[in-house]
A and B are shown apart, each in its own frame.
With several copies, the nearest count.
Chain A
């Protein structure tokens, strides 16, 4: 499960480096609101696993200060929605300080927690922050999908000398994924800034991150039966973004669809499109791009509306068909 992978990453890195500590709401005695830190407080005690009061701005600031002074905090936001209270410290205190100090003060901190929509938690608890954080130089922004991603990227984030925003997804915490032997090793680290081609294909490129990768893979399986081969790219890293992998794929498939759970405008898909269209891939595209995203609405609570506010497999499948001109609606759509 992704939850265990994250736990393992923290456990291994805490065992490896005394400077690493975890703080956040309910991370210690309660084992984490979503049980991601289960057992760590018992193992590492009060000094290194710290329950904070519900004061994000304050504890994020404390965490950043401690990183400036040589520690390596893992700062958990119970969900990234609450990172808005602390966002000034993420941006102004963490991301910009190395630059402002001309390289003197680095800030090795990981901000992590679940990001994006969960189930039935409505507008204030469902926002995706990938594009916001991706906008800001000085940050590295990761968005793992599978257990291997989760473990390898979190370990990379903790070892990194710069501030990393690590966007998890509550909905996949409990999802079981195979872990290779290599991934189970305590030296398994995935490089920051590289995307993963989850599945190769030649007809259309699906670029996605986090839980939406799952949707893409499902859609790809279904389309395979209809003779369409999708190449599925799991971004893993939102910033820096691995444009090479995307561009290469688009030059092969000539078709691009982006898939994400966040809002459509100024989102991850927008940046992917812009990168492709300012690149050499410009001349290779045979059809307009489609962004499959969350709907442009605050998240509603009611189940059927919530479902319509989030991308579904059929949105991807239909988009692929339209893009490849396999559907009668395609003509209408393009006009």
Chain B
């Protein structure tokens, strides 16, 4: 079929809203195949990142997005490219969805110059047009996102900003400061909580006195969405975006999801939950497997078509991995670039041994 009408996987919950997004959604074959490809790409890319980390080619922190793909894919589909997005350190999938190539992500992870931040940012700090990171400080991206939304309104556009944060971040005080000003000033911002059940090793119940994240904006209306359902996420996003564009102020959205890997690669991720729990989510709620089934059942795709996508995705990622491993790092003098955009007259680059002579700087 060229398109199908489907129900969202779980009913929305709404807070301080008279109505909510439609629960029956239309999906075209093209979109279906696109979403499938995007989710598979993110999944494969993260698997590749995990392997590169184990090979010690990626260093430091590396927070994988696997299990949460339906959110970045569904939201991007519900937004305009001119809308902005900002998220935390679990940023690879979002970076890709905003237009950075798999290589741009993986090479950033390996610290090479083809990385979208030329290797200066690493896992947590990726950027592209209308994508403002990648932030390593839990919660900090949320006021920043409200500020980006503020700018869009100030500039007279009807664009908006999506500011994403985790269930752990949801308790940070600056969230509530941002909510308050966003509401007072009707900032076009969708605050999105990706609730994956844990902030590092801490399950939501031990971190949050209320785990109904979509209600925690108090005076800001909220929607709860099944974050494993790419169509539900897209539909809710469209609806929320329209709400914001209409000048009604900010909105909260909670996307219920799950993280398959440990918090970062150094966390085995099995001390605070059972392997069975992870296995069960993989089997029953996986956003990709589930969507694949729906595409097939509704005759939007054939197994062969999907297989073909899988092969293409694998190829793309494998090629990116190869390049990300062999690509060069930035040369030494780059250490001192990008500190200022506007370099003061006679500005001295101060190296690690007091000298400011070029000869010393570059060794």
Enumerate chain A interface residues (CB-CB to B < 8 A): 21, 25-26, 29-30, 33, 47, 50-55, 57-71, 81-82, 85, 88-89, 92-93, 97-106, 118-125, 137-138, 140, 160-162, 191-194, 237, 240, 242-244, 264-265, 278, 290-298, 300-305, 308-312, 315, 318-319, 333
Extra A-B contacts (12), CB below 8 Å, given A54-B171, A65-B143: A29-B201, A54-B199, A65-B144, A69-B148, A102-B118, A102-B338, A137-B339, A160-B342, A161-B341, A240-B348, A301-B121, A311-B352
Q: Does B143 contact A291, Cβ atoms closer than 8 Å?
A: no
Q: How far is the CB of A95 from chain B (nearest CB, A)?
A: 9
When distances are taken between beta carbons in the complex, the residues of chain B under 8 Å from A82 are 137-138
197-255 of chain B: CB within 8 A of chain A: 199-202, 206-208
Q: State whether the Cβ of B191 lies closer than 8 Å to any Cβ in chain A.
A: no
Q: Does B84 contact A69, Cβ atoms closer than 8 Å?
A: yes
Within the assembled complex, what's the spacing in Å between the Cα atoms of A239 and B177? 31
Q: Which B residue's beta carbon lies closest to that of A121?
A: B60
When distances are taken between beta carbons in the complex, the residues of chain A under 8 Å from B276 are none
Q: Does A297 contact B339, Cβ atoms closer than 8 Å?
A: yes
When distances are taken between beta carbons in the complex, the residues of chain A under 8 Å from B112 are 302
14 of the cross-chain contacts (CB-CB < 8 Å) are: A61-B178, A62-B143, A65-B146, A69-B147, A120-B58, A125-B136, A162-B341, A193-B345, A194-B346, A244-B346, A278-B354, A290-B353, A294-B352, A318-B353
Q: Does B137 contact A124, Cβ atoms closer than 8 Å?
A: yes
Q: How far is the CB of A31 from chain B (nearest CB, A)?
A: 8
Q: Does B347 contact A240, Cβ atoms closer than 8 Å?
A: yes
Q: Does A100 contact B177, Cβ atoms closer than 8 Å?
A: no
Q: Does B347 contact A120, Cβ atoms closer than 8 Å?
A: no
Q: Does B120 contact A58, Cβ atoms closer than 8 Å?
A: no
Q: Does B154 contact A104, Cβ atoms closer than 8 Å?
A: no
Enumerate chain B interface residues (CB-CB to A < 8 A): 58-61, 84, 86, 108, 111-112, 117-125, 127-128, 132-140, 142-152, 154-155, 161, 168-169, 171-174, 176-178, 180-181, 184-185, 199-202, 206-208, 271-272, 329-330, 332, 334-342, 344-355, 357
Q: How far is the CB of B30 from chain A (nearest CB, A)?
A: 32
Q: How far is the CB of B49 from chain A (nearest CB, A)?
A: 13
Q: Does B340 contact A162, Cβ atoms closer than 8 Å?
A: yes
When distances are taken between beta carbons in the complex, the residues of chain A under 8 Å from B329 are 302-305
Q: Does B177 contact A191, Cβ atoms closer than 8 Å?
A: no
Within the assembled complex, what's the spacing in Å between the Cα atoms of A237 and B355? 21
Q: Does B155 contact A70, Cβ atoms closer than 8 Å?
A: yes
Q: How far is the CB of B288 from chain A (nearest CB, A)?
A: 29
In-complex Cβ contact of B180 among A25, A58, A243, A295 (8 A): A58
Q: How far is the CB of A257 from chain B (nearest CB, A)?
A: 9
Q: How far is the CB of A166 from chain B (nearest CB, A)?
A: 15
Q: Which B residue's beta carbon lies closest to that of A32?
A: B201
Q: Does A54 contact B335, Cβ atoms closer than 8 Å?
A: no
Q: Does B342 contact A26, Cβ atoms closer than 8 Å?
A: no
Q: Does A55 contact B339, Cβ atoms closer than 8 Å?
A: no
Q: Does A301 contact B111, Cβ atoms closer than 8 Å?
A: yes
Q: Does B171 contact A55, Cβ atoms closer than 8 Å?
A: yes
Within the assembled complex, what's the spacing in Å between the Cα atoms of A125 and B135? 11
Within the assembled complex, what's the spacing in Å between the Cα atoms of A310 and B111? 17
Nearest 10 CB-CB pairings of A with B: A65-B147, A61-B143, A58-B177, A120-B60, A120-B59, A301-B122, A302-B111, A69-B151, A30-B201, A65-B144
The B contact surface, by secondary structure, is loop
Greatest chain B CB density within 10 A among A33, A69, A123, A293 is at: A69
Within the assembled complex, what's the spacing in Å between the Cα atoms of A291 and B350? 11
Given A118-B60, A301-B121: A71 and B146 interface contact (C-beta under 8 Å): no
Within the assembled complex, what's the spacing in Å between the Cα atoms of A213 and B128? 40
Q: Which A residue's beta carbon lies closest to that of B184?
A: A53
Q: Does B352 contact A125, Cβ atoms closer than 8 Å?
A: no
When distances are taken between beta carbons in the complex, the residues of chain A under 8 Å from B207 are 51, 53-54
Q: Which B residue's beta carbon lies closest to that of A318?
A: B353
Within the assembled complex, what's the spacing in Å between the Cα atoms of A55 and B146? 14
When distances are taken between beta carbons in the complex, the residues of chain A under 8 Å from B208 are 53
Given A100-B121, A118-B60, A244-B346: A62 and B178 interface contact (C-beta under 8 Å): yes
Given A58-B180, A66-B150, A102-B117: A161 and B342 interface contact (C-beta under 8 Å): yes
In-complex Cβ contact of B140 among A89, A193, A292 (8 A): A89
Given A51-B206, A65-B146: A300 and B335 interface contact (C-beta under 8 Å): yes
Q: How far is the CB of B123 from chain A (nearest CB, A)?
A: 8
In-complex Cβ contact of A194 among B172, B336, B345 (8 A): B345
Q: How far is the CB of A233 from chain B (nearest CB, A)?
A: 16
Within the assembled complex, what's the spacing in Å between the Cα atoms of A191 and B342? 12
When distances are taken between beta carbons in the complex, the residues of chain B under 8 Å from A293 are 352-354
Within the assembled complex, what's the spacing in Å between the Cα atoms of A302 and B139? 25
In-complex Cβ contact of A54 among B139, B348, B349 (8 A): B139
When distances are taken between beta carbons in the complex, the residues of chain B under 8 Å from A101 are 117, 120-121, 125, 127, 133, 338
Given A54-B168, A297-B335: A93 and B144 interface contact (C-beta under 8 Å): yes
When distances are taken between beta carbons in the complex, the residues of chain A under 8 Å from B340 are 98, 138, 140, 161-162
Q: Does B137 contact A52, Cβ atoms closer than 8 Å?
A: no
Q: How far is the CB of A312 from chain B (nearest CB, A)?
A: 8
When distances are taken between beta carbons in the complex, the residues of chain B under 8 Å from A319 are 353-354
Given A101-B125, A105-B132, A124-B124: A309 and B352 interface contact (C-beta under 8 Å): yes
